[in-house]
Amino acid sequence: ISELFPDDPSREAAVIVMAREGGLTGEDRSFIARLGQYLDSPEVEGTFGPVQSTFNNPDLAPFLQSPDGEAELVVASLEFAPFSTSANDAIGDLRNLLGTRSPDGLSVHVSGIGGLAADQADALVESFDRTAIISILLVLLILIWVYRSAVAPLIALATIGIAFVVAQGVIAYLAQAGS
């Protein structure tokens, strides 16, 4: 896609969806304009690229505003590859900003490839953490059953834990060394 549409700002974008039941208010539209200006400002240069909104391009209104006036989109391209740590951090910062600065009653969500990638990364980390805890508990139960003691399994688990930490350190060292 990047070869066919090299200047497409929506290819690696965060799509910000803002909606209010009953229609967007003047305060909402003012917030959307300030958001578009902020995302286009030097303050976030290097994080977000071109921004598509009705405030910097009114011709996009039929595409970015709902016909009933209840929702509007702002498309901000990311300067980072989707699924990268930098892109996920940028989406997290954007969501924090939107959560603290948006008008009361305005529903604000971040979607697009940037939002989906950040959500997927969060889900993977949460899933891994949950799996690790469950695995440790199951191994502990099996070791208690095998050894018929509460102390002996802890020695085995400590050995496994030390091996895990050492292996992580070796892998990190090799990764930094470029091997």
Q: Give the pLDDT score at 9.
A: 55
Q: How do 71-78 and 48-52 pair as beta strands?
A: antiparallel
Q: Count the helices and strands in the chain (H runs, E runs).
A: 5, 4
Count of C-beta atoms within a 10 Å radius of residue 106: 16
Q: Walk along the chain (179 residues) and give the pLDDT tens digit of each residue.
A: 556 666 665 567 899 999 999 999 999 999 999 999 999 888 988 899 888 899 888 999 999 999 999 999 999 989 888 889 999 999 999 999 999 999 999 999 999 999 999 999 999 999 999 998 999 899 889 988 998 888 888 888 889 889 999 999 999 999 988 85
Q: What is the pLDDT of residue 107?
A: 96
Give me the helices (H) in 21-84, please: 26-39, 61-64
Pairing of strands 13-19, 107-111: antiparallel
Under DSSP, is residue 15 helix (H, G, I), strand (E, B) or coil?
A: strand
What is residue 154's predicted lDDT score, i.e. its pLDDT?
A: 86
61 vs 30: CA distance, rounded Å:
15
How far is it, in rounded angstroms, from Cα 172 to Cα 170?
5
**Residue 88, pLDDT score:** 93
pLDDT tens-digit readout, 78-114: 988 888 999 999 999 999 999 999 999 999 999 999 9
State how far the Cα of 82 lies from the Cα of 40, in Å rounded to an integer. 19
For residues 138 and 60, is the Cβ–Cβ distance under 8 A?
Answer: no
CA distance 134 to 130: 6
Q: Phi and psi of 146, rounded to 5°? A: -70, -50
pLDDT of residue 12: 73
Q: What is the pTM of this model?
A: 0.74
Both tokens assigned to 85: 């740590």
d(CA 110, CA 75): 10
Q: Which tokens hold the place of 119?
A: 């959500």
